[in-house]
Amino acid sequence: MGSTKKIAIIMGGYSSEYEISLKSGEVVCKWLDRRQYDPYRILIRRDRWVLLTGDGRELPVNRHDFSVDLGGEILKFDCVFNAIHGTPGENGLLQAYFELIGMPQTSCGFYQAAITFNKRDLLSILKASGVPAARSYHLNKGQELDEKAIIQAVGLPCFVKANRAGSSYGVSLVKEAAGLHGAVEAAFREDDEVLIEAALIGREVSVGVIRHQGQTLVLPITEIISENEFFDYQAKYEGKSREVTPAQIPEPVAAKVRELAAAIYDRLRMTGYSRSEFILVGDQPHLLEVNTTPGLTEASILPQQAAAAGISLAELFGGAIEDALAKNG
């Protein structure tokens, strides 16, 4: 009598973060406890949704109920483990689909995913709740680039970011007005909405919040020390940064970071994982963004934090599945 639960690990997606998502998905597959879970790798691409078999074949996923025909036998899953960074796994599209078909999944709800993926909307909501953040200016594709108004609003230096993209794609640090045009163009290559923020000068920290054994748990804080001018793609994925977990910051400041991360998680009524990024300006944390499908490779920040809290990858991933199943129970 097979009592293991069938878990679909979704990976890939439609964004620039495709390759990183594949790595996260493979790590989840590797570490899931085979005594409890039977993992299946599901590749989600614009042109196809397929189950990747051990012998290199691709079997189509029936999108009506997210099942797979194994050649006579229909495979139905107990739960979906979401390892897709960016669209459609981190912006609410798949969360809404799984809710519609009644399939438990490990990340937050579709509304929370949509809000957190949209940095402008997220910061607007949380600023109203008293969460500190940088001064900002919003720009949509087709709108005139008014350099004077931008500099008046946020000053220089400033960061120009694609509003709905992850992994530091489409992010530039602009020091002179002459650099604004090129930076905005680079951001528009990733998204048709741009967020321009005053550059906050200070230490960068990241903190994960997860559900663990039925409780909301704030993980140890990581300080990100970039060799580059900021935590860009190179710093994130090509070893151009040092991550220190737990962060060597004064306890009163660490307490503020933990309190804010937990308050954001509760305020947004989050479930699953979140990883909030802050810049410490003096001893005051300022929110940059919240990730709801953070990287899950062995070297990624959330797994590092879990390890520092004494939580193995098998426990981290299994806990997310058990929480998703309990939510739908």
Report pLDDT digits (tens) over 121-164: 999 999 999 999 999 999 999 999 999 999 999 999 999 999 98
On whether both 207 and 305 belong to a single domain, the answer is yes
**Which of 50-59, 64-73, 226-235 shows the lowest mean pLDDT across its residues?**
226-235
CATH number for the domain that contains residue 177: 3.30.1490.20
pLDDT of residue 204: 94
Q: Are strands 5-12 and 37-44 parallel, antiparallel or unpaired?
A: parallel
Q: Give the mean pLDDT of 320-327.
A: 94
Rounded CA separation 287/260 (Å): 9
The pTM (predicted TM-score) of the whole model is 0.92
On whether both 65 and 212 belong to a single domain, the answer is no
Does residue 104 surpass a pLDDT of 80?
yes
Q: Which of 13, 323, 44 is nearest to 167 (CA)?
A: 13
- Whole domain around residue 177: which residue ranges? 136-198
Residue 280, CB half-sphere, CA atoms under 13 Å: how many? 23
Spatial strand order in the sheet of 158-162? 136-140, 193-198, 158-162, 171-174
On whether both 118 and 222 belong to a single domain, the answer is yes
On whether both 127 and 249 belong to a single domain, the answer is yes
The fraction of the chain above a pLDDT of 90, given in percent, is 85
pLDDT of residue 230: 54
Q: Which of 270, 176, 264, 255 is nearest to 221 (CA)?
A: 255
pLDDT of residue 1: 39
Does residue 235 surpass a pLDDT of 50?
no
On whether both 154 and 178 belong to a single domain, the answer is yes
At 190, the pLDDT band (50, 70, 90 cuts) reads confident
On whether both 218 and 289 belong to a single domain, the answer is yes
On whether both 118 and 85 belong to a single domain, the answer is no
Mean pLDDT, all residues of the chain? 92
On whether both 31 and 101 belong to a single domain, the answer is yes
On whether both 123 and 248 belong to a single domain, the answer is yes
Kindly report the number of other CB atoms within 10 A of residue 70's CB atom: 11
On whether both 97 and 238 belong to a single domain, the answer is no
On whether both 65 and 122 belong to a single domain, the answer is no
